[in-house]
Chains A and B, each alone.
Chain A
């Protein structure tokens, strides 16, 4: 069964550093999403991406965040200058177009 994959599974970084979280969506999907879950809190929507551009972003997705589809398979989330409060589990998801999506296993980001 096709699945969404994410790397790395755990990323530790120093405050102020840039991180790139990587995702490989399901191959025939066209819609890609990032979510995050701060420990003990709800899963929160960050951004939707379709046709090589952001189709929607939440208030959380400020200027320090960016997304990119650098090639035909990867979908990345870049955090430019990490802050302590960026520590969270980051989930990538993809869908063929219907609401909702297939989620990846997540990347746990720890900012020290």
Chain B
């Protein structure tokens, strides 16, 4: 079965530190990959997405992610985090062959940024 894995459950960083959150997906074929963020008390918001083309995708709030097909990875990065980046981050992939909304989510990574 297809799956999306996020290996970091909770990451704690100081402000200005660099961030990389891991995401691996298990399936081949055409991939549509996403990173969503959920700030405390708020809804899931799309940070960025990859459908095709340039494997380095830039999203909102200074985030980027790189699709590496050979590693089945789509890691999220930010060069310098801020306290306001404290949130839970979810990697997701469209279920291959499924409808447009059929996303498979990872378990999420909670990011805590210390001021």
Give A contacts to B, CB under 8 Å.
Answer: 3-4, 31-33, 35, 41-45, 48, 50, 55-56, 58, 91, 93, 95, 97-106
Contact partners of B102 in chain A: CB under 8 A: 45, 48, 56, 58
Contact B101 A101 (CB under 8 A): yes
**Chain B positions 89 through 110: 1 when the CB is less than 8 Å from some CB of chain A, otherwise 0:** 0101011001111111111100
Using Cβ atoms and an 8 Å threshold, which residues of chain B touch A50?
99
Instruction: Kindly report which residue of chain B lies nearest to residue A37, judged by CB atoms.
Output: B105
Beyond A48-B99, A56-B98, A91-B43, whether A100 also contacts B105 by CB under 8 A is: no
The answer to whether A99 touches B94 (Cβ under 8 A) is yes
Q: Find residues 57-115 in chain B having any chain A CB closer than 8 Å to their own CB.
A: 90, 92, 94-95, 98-108
**B49 contacts which chain A residues (CB < 8 A)?**
99-100
* Known contacts A42-B105, A99-B32, A100-B32: A48-B46 contact under CB 8 Å: no
Instruction: For B34, give the chain A residue with the smallest CB separation.
Output: A100
Determine whether the beta carbon of A45 is less than 8 Å from that of B46.
Answer: no
Query: Contact between B100 and A48 (Cβ–Cβ < 8 Å)?
Result: yes
A-B contact pairs, 12 of them (CB 8 A): A3-B43, A32-B101, A33-B101, A42-B105, A55-B99, A93-B101, A98-B100, A99-B94, A100-B34, A101-B100, A101-B101, A103-B36
